[in-house]
Amino acid sequence: MSSGTDLPDYLAAFRERRALCAALLELSLAQSDCIRRDDYTELLALLHQKQTLLDDVARAAREQELAWSSWSDRRDRLRAAERTECEQQLAQIEDLLARLLREEQAGTHLLNQRHDATQRELASVNRGMRVREAYEGSPLNGGTRHFSIDT
C-alpha cells in the first residue's frame, strides 16, 4: 500500500512496468540487430525471450490492475514527493513505449524488406530453372525434344 491506507502501491507498480518496458526495448533492439545480420537462429531465441517477457507484462497488468485503473482518481491522495516520483515513472514508461513502438516498426519494415528481397531472388531462380528446362530437351542442346514456350 501507498501512503494512504486504501491506496495501492503505485510507485512499485509503475517501477515494475518501467523495468518491463525497458527490458522489452532492449530485446527489440537486439531483435533488429539479428535481422540486420540475418541471424535467424538468434532471432528465434530472442523472440522466445520476448514472449516470456510479454507474459510477465500481462501477469503484472493483472496483478496491478487496481493501481493502473485508480491512478487518475486517487493520485491527489498521495504525498507530493511520491506523486512526483510516480509521475516521473509514468513519463519514463511513456517514453520507453514510444521508443519501443518505433523500434518494432523499424524491425518489421526491415524484416519485410528481407522477405521481399528473398521472394524476388526465389522468383529469379524459378525463372532460370524454367528456361533451363525449356532448353534441356532442345535439339540445340543435343536433346530430342522441341523447344517449349509453354514451360
- CATH of residue 28: 1.20.58
Q: Is residue 64 part of a domain?
A: yes
Q: Is residue 3 part of a domain?
A: no
Residue with cell 487518475: 72
Q: Is residue 150 part of a domain?
A: no
> What's the number of domains the chain is made of?
1
Q: Is residue 19 part of a domain?
A: yes
* Residue 120 confidence (pLDDT): 86
Q: Is residue 4 part of a domain?
A: no
* Residue 144 confidence (pLDDT): 54
Sequence-distant contacts of 38-45: CB under 8 A, at least 24 apart: 38/114
* Residue 1 confidence (pLDDT): 45
* E strand or H helix that includes residue 84: helix 80-136
Q: Is residue 1 part of a domain?
A: no
Q: Is residue 149 part of a domain?
A: no
For 15, the domain range is 10-141
151 residues of the chain, pLDDT tens digit each:
444 456 789 999 999 999 999 999 999 999 999 999 999 999 999 999 999 999 999 999 999 999 999 999 999 999 999 999 999 999 999 999 999 999 999 999 998 998 888 888 888 877 777 777 776 755 555 555 555 566 5
What is the DSSP track for 17-63?
A: HHHHHHHHHHHHHHHHHHHHTT-HHHHHHHHHHHHHHHHHHHHHHHH
Q: Is residue 151 part of a domain?
A: no
* Residue 121 confidence (pLDDT): 83
Q: Phi-psi category of 8—alpha, beta or left, where left has phi over 0 and alpha has psi -120 to 50?
A: beta
